[in-house]
Chains A and B, each alone.
Chain A
Amino acid sequence: MGLDKIWVFGEANGDAVASITLEMLAAARELADTVEVFMAGDGDDYAEELGEHGAETVYSTGDLDGGLQGVAVAAAVANAIEEGDVDAPDAFLLGTTQDGRDVAARLSVKLDTGVITNCVALEADGDELIGSEPVFGGVTDVRTKNTSGKPGIFLIRPKSFEAEGVGGAEADTEDLDVPDLGAVGAAKVTNSHVEESDGPKLDEAAIVVSGGRGLGEADAFSLVDELASTVGGAAGASRAIVDAGWVPYSMQVGQTGKVVKPTVYIAAGISGATQHLVGMKGSKNIIAINKDPEAPIFAVADLGIVGDVHKVMPALIEALKSR
């Protein structure tokens, strides 16, 4: 085994540990002798689940009183290392999420070391980590090694690793004190809104049906919703129609949205821009419906239908409903 210790940034959805955190724990276990978690909030609430997935200790800041995680968590980690309260890990792993990116960027300035971003695979080389990043929409792999002489900071794309419990004991919990942040910590959350729809979650569903510009108009997205609910799947969207305001960002699949790897991905009226392909190329089976035979989506589709979504989708929905 290469590294002595890896720290994984912990995130939570309510009472449960976020999938990305458990995925990174699975990767970290293979690379280091000791795996620990650092997070905002109360680590006691997650110590059992994190321990089950191999974390030995959870360092947590406690409630941030509406403050954003980036500034607070990075300051707390840098402070703890500087004060000698903790031994610095050999590497930090954080998810490519809103808060993961904020913490990684703030931490990189505190420690004056770069971030290796968009990693989908990790390997140990001696006591350093190498991260693999797909570029140009996934046609080229770039492997980058931390050579800073300081702990490497790696941002990991969701769904890069399989989360798997290993029956570990409940993790120990330790406090991570947030120093006085002054004006830098002045941004406060005043209200939170949840936009997720009913049914299975987009990044967990076995079948995902996504719609794009080819639907023509916002109202036509009802075809995507209806097909998704008919097959018990989740509805997703390309960035183009999220930007156009047809559906909320929480439905976006792609580089800047969610990464999905369902058993079946159905792309309706999506041309397959790089931005989108990055988020769904890992699906086990891809079905594409698009009227342009030259659309890039057909290059990754297992089954491609060159046709009008307004004809194919209603016929498909009716056929499935009548069974």
Chain B
Amino acid sequence: MKVVVCVKQIPDPADPGALDPESKTLVRDAKLILDESDSYGVEMALQLVDAAGEGEVHLVSMAPNNETAGLRTALAMGAASATLISDEALKGSDALGTAKVLAAAIARQEPDLVLAATESSDGYTGTVPEQVAALMDLPSVTFAKSVAVDGGAAKVQRQTEAGYDEVECPLPALVSVTAGVVEPRYPSFKGIMAAKSKPVDELDLGGLGIDAGSVGWAGAGQEIVSIADAPAREAGEVIEDEGDAYERIVSFLDDLKVL
């Protein structure tokens, strides 16, 4: 079984960078890391291949400047190989433009199953996986909290507003997973060393056969009109509990007349 996992390499959430008001893109100076949300997809893929007894996990990522630091983390977890798409013309790509690039790169792998996170930790549009599925004419199940493969079909527990649905979907298919679907492993020292020599196929738009006009700023079809500070919520009273802080909560609730 061949599983392709979409991984995003993002700025460290502890140091997220800023939006440049001039270019209206995210300034990403620091090294990129593997989006934690994607570590769940990588782990799920490794476990599904293990359970199937055969196959491999391939990663697909789009990132500026041929960045591979985050990919190496996922390779160290156990993925076999990766495709990285990097191109100046991709700057400003919206979710659909990103999905077009990922879909073209994934299709070359002819996977049985495509996994992705439900949403990234930095952009959180939450639309890319389903757009990739649509572009590849694949069925899909989003918001998976549990995934198993049995008899050529994915069996998924899909989160809903009220609880969850059990969904069956024949392969090939795309499944987007939530955090908590599995506990991601930490890369071992051996894994980290092995990852250094695993193959990463680096492509640009020409290599994928994608017209630069359909992605990047040119293809986005939307314009950022303004970027401004949001009105801040003011902090209120903060007290240290000396054993009687509960009384202050009670009087606060009484003042609001909610009890």
Q: Footprint of B on A, CB under 8 Å?
A: 13, 18, 68, 70-71, 74, 96-98, 101-102, 104-106, 108-110, 112-118, 125, 130, 134-136, 138-150, 152, 155, 183-196, 206-207, 231, 239, 242-245, 248-250, 255-256, 263-264, 266, 274, 281, 285, 287, 289, 293, 298-308, 311-312, 315-316, 319-320, 323
Majority-rule SS of B interface residues: mixed
Of B126, B135, B228, B245, the residue contacting A96 (CB under 8 A) is: B126
Which B residues touch A312, using CB under 8 A? 241, 245-246, 249
Which B residues touch A316, using CB under 8 A? 246, 249-250
Q: Footprint of A on B, CB under 8 Å?
A: 13, 16, 19, 94-97, 99, 118-119, 124-131, 134-135, 137-143, 145, 158-170, 173, 178-180, 220-230, 232-233, 235-241, 243, 245-250, 252-253, 256, 258-259
Which B residues touch A13, using CB under 8 A? 161-162
When the two chains form their complex, are residues A144 and B224 in contact, meaning their CB atoms are under 8 A apart?
Answer: yes
Q: How far is the CB of A205 from chain B (nearest CB, A)?
A: 11
When the two chains form their complex, are residues A97 and B161 in contact, meaning their CB atoms are under 8 A apart?
Answer: yes
When the two chains form their complex, are residues A190 and B166 in contact, meaning their CB atoms are under 8 A apart?
Answer: yes
Q: How far is the CA of A191 from the CA of B23 in the complex (A)?
A: 48
Q: How far is the CA of A114 from the CA of B221 in the complex (A)?
A: 7
Of B138, B164, B235, B239, the residue contacting A300 (CB under 8 A) is: B235
| Chain A residue nearest in CB terms to B129 | A105
| Chain B residue nearest in CB terms to A298 | B238
Known: A183-B139, A184-B138. A250 touches B232 (CB 8 A): no
Q: How far is the CA of A105 from the CA of B176 in the complex (A)?
A: 13
Q: How far is the CA of A148 from the CA of B126 in the complex (A)?
A: 20
Known: A108-B131, A293-B238. A281 touches B233 (CB 8 A): yes
Q: How far is the CA of A304 from the CA of B237 in the complex (A)?
A: 6
Q: How far is the CA of A130 from the CA of B240 in the complex (A)?
A: 44
Of A112, A187, A311, the residue contacting B241 (CB under 8 A) is: A311
Known: A110-B134, A140-B227, A263-B258. A101 touches B126 (CB 8 A): yes
When the two chains form their complex, are residues B169 and A188 in contact, meaning their CB atoms are under 8 A apart?
Answer: yes
- Identify which of B145, B162, B173 gathers the most chain A CB atoms within 10 Å of its CB: B162
Known: A185-B139, A264-B256. A307 touches B241 (CB 8 A): yes
Q: How far is the CA of A135 from the CA of B13 in the complex (A)?
A: 13
When the two chains form their complex, are residues B163 and A195 in contact, meaning their CB atoms are under 8 A apart?
Answer: yes
Known: A141-B228, A148-B221, A303-B252. A135 touches B19 (CB 8 A): yes
Known: A105-B134, A311-B243. A187 touches B139 (CB 8 A): yes
Which A residues touch B247, using CB under 8 A? 319
Q: How far is the CB of A94 from chain B (nearest CB, A)?
A: 10
Of A68, A117, A263, the residue contacting B167 (CB under 8 A) is: A68
